[in-house]
Amino acid sequence: MKKRGKRKKKTKGSSWKWLLMVCCLLALISIALVNHFLFRNATHYGIKMPTGYHTHGIDISQYQGTIDWDALCSPQDNDVPISFVYMRATMDMRNDKKFKVNWQEAKAHGLKRGAYLFFHPNKDGVRQAELFIKRVGNLDGCLPPVVDIEKNYRTDAKLLKKRLQDCLNTLHNYYGIRPVVYTYTTFYRDFLGTAFDQYPLWIAHYEREDKPDYISREWDIWQHSERGRIAGTNEFVDFNVLNCHNSIMPCEVCTN
């Protein structure tokens, strides 16, 4: 009887060990699956992609050199296809050297395109907008125009806001659509405040997993990295995601 009792106890203990091991294994698998499908931060184009976004785009300028558009527009990552591209057209009173060819090539390759103006607060806002309009021309079927402001160039805060407003008004009156303001989080907070909250916002803030912080207002585009790698150029490329819940983009650009 004693021997039988011992065997029974040993068998019961072994069963609990096996059950515990199975439960632990299932828990680990569940955690891995949740992490993979809900919180994954996998590497694409050489960078970590923020989670929870489905519409990705890049922005370029003459700094990317001569781009091989066939290579750039070829399928490179099925999980993260490129849906749109913004390109610099002008900076203060100068033209981007590669804009014309980039603008034509993006259209020829069927990529949704937009143009931006790199704004200098120490220059007249109306004149900068007029140069952009002359350089870019018609934007029918394209993305909204963007005014990129990143530096104050020691310009008085009141004058900076006036010149930026003059530039935005000129573009708005010509194109019939509110331009997008591009800047980074701390510049928006420290120099723009709430004065331009009525405009769509393209915000730059790097190395964040879910969303940019340091800013409370809604944003439309988030530039999350400046060090992406993509076929067609040997230079780093800025990568962006679209906020489809607060979207300025045509519906066909925003993918879910």
Active site residues: 59, 150
Helix axes of 125-136 and 157-175: crossing angle, nearest 10 degrees? 30
**H/E run at residue 222:** strand 221-228
Q: What is the dihedral of CA 201, 60, 46, 107, to 10 degrees?
A: 100
d(CA 11, CA 13): 5
Q: Is residue 109 classed exposed, middle or buried when 0-12, 13-18 and 19+ CB atoms within 10 A define those classes? A: middle
Q: How far apart are the first and last CA of the chain?
A: 68
Collapse the DSSP code of 2 into the 3-class scheme (helix H, G, I; strand E, B; otherwise coil) and give the result.
helix
d(CA 79, CA 243): 17
